[in-house]
Amino acid sequence: MAGVAAWSLARKDIKTLINSAQDFHDQTAVGWEDEEDIEELRTTTGKLASSSKAALDLSRRIEATYGDTIADLQAFKDTTIFSAKYRDHVSAFEDMVFVHMALPETMEPKVAAAVATKDSVLSSLSTFTRMAARRDDPAAAAFVRSFSCVSQAWDDAVKGAGLSLEDYAALRAFKDKSNASFHAADEPQQALLVLESNSPVPEDVQPYKEPLIALLRILSRP
């Protein structure tokens, strides 16, 4: 509602100008002897009052139509700027955690390959979290068993660096927040319904519509 408040404040300022112009218009004849000058001044101040009223009406229409949108855009801008300013510090902490990870000397080849870089570790941990919620799937359960040592090593390194797992989880969410508006995906089932409907798709992404439908059908399976 910040946009509405801003327009309300501006409207008060315009209203003050209107009142001042009107008062000046009504009192200009006092002490003046030249009728031609008086009439010209009255005409000018009358136009000023009329223009100010028009500006007030316009501000009311803008407030009614765009007030909340302006507030939302400002909030989005503030959040994005704040997140962009501080998220790199989370990345720097993750660099430190990666360097201090103590992984088992013997790991499955696919696990060892998946922890060669910090980004690959973070990607594997994201997959680990998703697969942990699907333990009824044999392949997901096997992945969790294979990568549990990576998850444990990462958690130990986070705590060893002096941060609680709860705080780290919050910081991960904060780091992702600046991307949230650009990657605000629906659940696969909902996204599939939208794509399969007659909802318009931008022309430049039309070539990707059918492949996306095929992908979402796979992800929507029980």
In a domain, 126, yes or no: yes
Q: What is the tally of structural domains in the chain?
A: 3
pLDDT surpasses 50 at 1: no
Residues 44-83: tens digit of each pLDDT: 777 777 777 777 777 777 767 766 777 777 777 776 666 6
Q: Which of 100, 101, 91 is nearest to 168 (CA)?
A: 91
Q: How far is CA 177 from CA 2, 80, 104, 160, in A?
A: 21, 8, 33, 26
Residues 79 and 6 in one domain: yes
Residues 24-47: tens digit of each pLDDT: 556 554 555 566 666 776 677 777
| Structure tokens, 203 | 């022309």
In a domain, 88, yes or no: no
Q: Mean pLDDT of all residues in the chain?
A: 77
In a domain, 140, yes or no: yes
Can you give the pLDDT at residue 173?
81
Residues 163 and 192 in one domain: no
Question: Do residues 216 and 192 touch, judged by C-beta distance below 8 A?
Answer: yes
Can you give the pLDDT at residue 183?
52
In a domain, 150, yes or no: yes
Can you give the pLDDT at residue 2?
46
Provide the 10 A C-beta neighbour count for residue 20.
14
- Give the domain extent around 55: 2-83
